């Protein structure tokens, strides 16, 4: 079992929903992002999604785009991101880490070399948004063989014909994108999300976690209430970007986690 699978098994045993938090590696600088990352588990985060900065983040909205740019300007690289994970693992060997990003940096590194380094650093899963199921042989299958979960996105436009292909080699959990468009662009509505989550769950035994458009404790609770949990990214990244100290940002994360866990 990966850390991701173990975490969801334990949450299911406790009849508890998952709270997943996204942060950008190296935003606004390595020390601050590592301090934030280290504080997430105590704030109630069950799974950490760690963004890998990239120059052309096509699926990300302005908030996360800006975070990635700040990280890149500060010298963040794939190597430094992996080091950040290693540093985190010195004090936490149980919280799952999912690396979320784009294929170009991985391709440039070389798939086999990247997977070996990612596994050794302590990464548990990958979300690579620009690799469709038709490209599973490129990274998805090698990642699974290396012991990493490969988490796929399903969206409101993933119809019944497409869904089985999306789910075919997915592991860990399914990430349902609650809205069409980019991150941080609209608010998620539980009434719209619920039937889509039910449709996906009818086709897979994997947990279904909902992200995009969740910004408050109440919305985290509402969305987690119709799924197996929720993801918050832009709201956390934006809170950090506002200049608040890490402790205040962690207070906001704690409120979001309490909402999800209360569902």
User: Which of 204, 202, 208 shows the shortest CA–CA distance to 227?
Assistant: 208
Active site positions, annotated? 49, 60
- Regarding beta strands 47-51 and 208-211, do their DSSP bridges make them parallel or antiparallel, or are they unpaired? unpaired
Q: What is the distance between the alpha carbons of residues 219 and 11, in angstroms, rounded to a whole number? A: 20
Q: What is the distance between the alpha carbons of residues 219 and 208, in angstroms, rounded to a whole number? A: 17
Q: What is the distance between the alpha carbons of residues 121 and 9, in angstroms, rounded to a whole number? A: 23
**Encoded tokens for 197:** 């989550």
Q: In what order do the strands lie in the sheet with 153-154?
A: 149-150, 125-128, 97-101, 47-51, 18-24, 229-232, 208-211, 174-177, 153-154
Asked whether the beta carbons of 128 and 54 are under 8 A apart, the reply is no
Asked whether the beta carbons of 143 and 171 are under 8 A apart, the reply is no
Residues 6+ apart with CB under 8 A from 197: 176, 208, 210, 226, 227
Q: What is the distance between the alpha carbons of residues 239 and 23, in angstroms, rounded to a whole number? A: 11
Helix axes 246-261, 30-39, angle to 10 degrees: 30
Per DSSP, 189 falls in state -
């Amino acid at each position: 079992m990966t850390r991701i699978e173990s975490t969801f098994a334990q949450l299911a045993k406790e009849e508890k929903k998952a709270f997943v938090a996204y942060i950008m590696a190296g935003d606004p600088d390595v020390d601050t992002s590592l301090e934030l990352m280290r504080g997430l588990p105590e704030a109630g985060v069950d799974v950490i999604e760690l963004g890998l900065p990239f120059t052309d983040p096509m699926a990300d909205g302005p908030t996360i785009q800006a975070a990635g740019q700040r990280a890149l300007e500060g010298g963040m690289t794939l190597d430094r991101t992996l080091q950040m994970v290693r540093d985190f693992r010195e004090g936490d060997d149980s919280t799952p880490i999912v690396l979320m990003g784009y294929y170009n940096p991985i391709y440039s590194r070389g798939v086999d070399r990247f997977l070996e380094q990612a596994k050794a650093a302590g990464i548990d899963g990958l979300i690579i948004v620009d690799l469709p199921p038709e490209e599973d042989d490129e990274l998805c299958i090698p990642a699974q063989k290396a012991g990493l979960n490969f988490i796929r996105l399903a969206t409101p436009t993933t119809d019944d014909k497409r869904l089985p292909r999306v789910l075919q080699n997915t592991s860990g959990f399914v990430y349902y994108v609650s809205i069409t468009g980019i991150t941080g662009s609209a608010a998620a509505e539980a009434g719209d999300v619920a039937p889509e989550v039910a449709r996906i769950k009818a086709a897979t035994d994997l947990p279904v976690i909902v992200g995009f458009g969740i910004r408050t404790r109440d919305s985290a609770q509402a969305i987690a209430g119709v799924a197996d949990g929720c993801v918050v990214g832009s709201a956390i990244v934006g809170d950090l970007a506002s200049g608040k100290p890490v402790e205040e940002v962690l207070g906001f994360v704690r409120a979001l986690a309490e909402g999800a866990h209360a569902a």
